[in-house]
Amino acid sequence: MRSDQIKSGANRAPQRALLRALGLTDEEIKRPFVAVVCSASDYIPGHKHLREISEAVKAGILSAGGVPFEFQTIGVCDGIAMNHKGMKYSLCSRELIADSIEVMLTAHPLDAAVFIPNCDKIVPGMLMAACRMNLPSIFISGGPMLPGEYRGERIGFSEMSEAVGAHAAGKMSDGDLREMEEAACPGCGSCSGMYTANSMNCLTEAIGMALPGNGTVPAVFAKRIRLAKEAGVQVMRLYRENRRPSDILTPKAFENALRSDMALGCSTNTVLHLTAIAHEMGVPLDINTIDRISRNTPQICKLNPAGKIFITDLDRVGGIPAVMKELARKDLINLDIPTVRGTVRERLDSAPDADGTIIHKVETPIRKDGGIAILKGNLAPEGSVVKQGAVDPGMMQHVGPARCFGSEEDAIAAIQGGKIQPGDVVVIRYEGPKGGPGMREMLAPTSSLAGMGLGDSVALITDGRFSGATRGAAIGHVSPEAAAGGLIALIQDGDRINVDIPGRKLELCVGEEEIAKRRAAWKAPHKELTGYLKRYARMVTSGSRGAVFED
């Protein structure tokens, strides 16, 4: 046992004395020690209830002969951090989470681990740590929030954000905004649409690191507690079988996750996170691989914010196993590979068939290609990302004049001030991993455009990124970023920009001679940075590489 480093032999008597101070008996000291890595927080609605999940996990571990030890990680709620300086720390927190878990599980050697995340960067941060430590591991999320209801219509966080734009445009009164505010988020859980948190929890299941139901069983259902107990029991089986993340997170497993990603129309943030997780695991995965998989994987689900179907509806018709089973009918899923319990084939055998409405048949998909598209061109030679499954059909191809802004705040002021016109292409730069720093999510600009009635006539491009709650012609992760001298830094107001999503192109329609003249005169703006942001900006790589740290 790995925990023998702190409990076996005469030389470890001091460590055993400290273990006894915790109340451990001789019998318990002999058993496998299991980490319960929990991100419970009173400040995050998706994590408010995770202590209850943790207690269920520990009950499962105890019943299966292990000894659980819980510790906490930090977590950022992207919704609360949105549209102010706090969002600069959201993506940054992913690396801190992974590092802090490495510290704890190396300083206190244990034999296996259960990870309990729920929101945004916490899920990939924990997955990165699981790869790095390579202990027998399993994930159990806190589950999605139920949708809210406003005047007879189900809503989520994305509708609430778009209401701000409607209010700014004079289309919604103060009282109506308040009424909607009180209804949008009815209780604990990760926000109710296929935003980043639910995307990552579903993909954790698809990649094989969690039990069926991990991504879709609602937070408030008793089934979520039973699933947590099962996870506690199952981690002990993984320990006894010595099955580790390196046995599960193979190239074929990442392909399954990406196929599921494209079929579901997940958040564009999944591109950042799957790339970073693969980097930790030593699995080759780049933007070109993602593009190849996107081109030949049909989108068979259209969930909120792209539509009116919520994650809880997907759970009702079979969840992720049903989605993967339908993809398998087109030979798009690797079946004979391991998961935390059985093979993918065994998991899908018991899954229901696609219902044809929430999960479309592969013969009649929503799209013939995936929900996420990779665009390249002179503006993004290293790639950019768009959630094409949430783009208005009329904006799939668009050429318009640039309206350039050096920060998210400046762009929002222009949008809400009525300075953006139909046909424009809003350019928000110096918000990339280095330039932001932190690659802020920009739900506020996109939701303001949608709320003001411009979502079907205005495109937005940025070297930052977008919330999973974003919909519309919003192209993010433009790489190289402006701070690194990418062409996005050289765009001027009025320049024509060509957005061609079916053609996978993002181009600045300016001649090479003019571009060379602008580049000779360009100088990156200086930002006075301190603390972690200063270190992060110095160490972080391009968004096209997952915004991981330099090796």
How many angstroms separate the CA atoms of 96 and 102, rounded?
A: 10
Identity at 89, one-letter amino acid code: Y
Cβ contacts of residue 179 below 8 Å, gap of 6+? 150, 151
Cβ contacts of residue 151 below 8 Å, gap of 6+? 179
Angle between helices 122-133 and 269-281 (to 10 degrees): 10
Cβ contacts of residue 180 below 8 Å, gap of 6+? 150, 155, 159, 160, 163, 172
Q: In what order do the strands lie in the sheet with 112-116?
A: 67-72, 33-38, 112-116, 137-139
Instruction: Report, as residue numbers or ranges, the catalytic residues.
Output: 467
What is residue 174's three-state secondary structure? helix
Angle between helices 157-168 and 408-416 (to 10 degrees): 60
Identity at 317, one-letter amino acid code: V
468 with 266: CB under 8 angstroms?
yes
143 with 226: CB under 8 angstroms?
no
Task: Give the Å distances, CA to CA, from 7 to 106, 134, 225, 259, 527.
Answer: 15, 21, 32, 44, 50
Phi and psi, residue 128, nearest 5°: -60, -40
Phi and psi, residue 273, nearest 5°: -80, -40
How does strand 373-375 pair with strand 383-386?
antiparallel
Cβ contacts of residue 168 below 8 Å, gap of 6+? 416, 448, 451, 452
Structure tokens at 3: 């925990």
Residue written as token pair 């997952």:
546
Cβ contacts of residue 375 below 8 Å, gap of 6+? 383, 384, 385, 386, 475, 499, 500, 501, 504, 505, 506
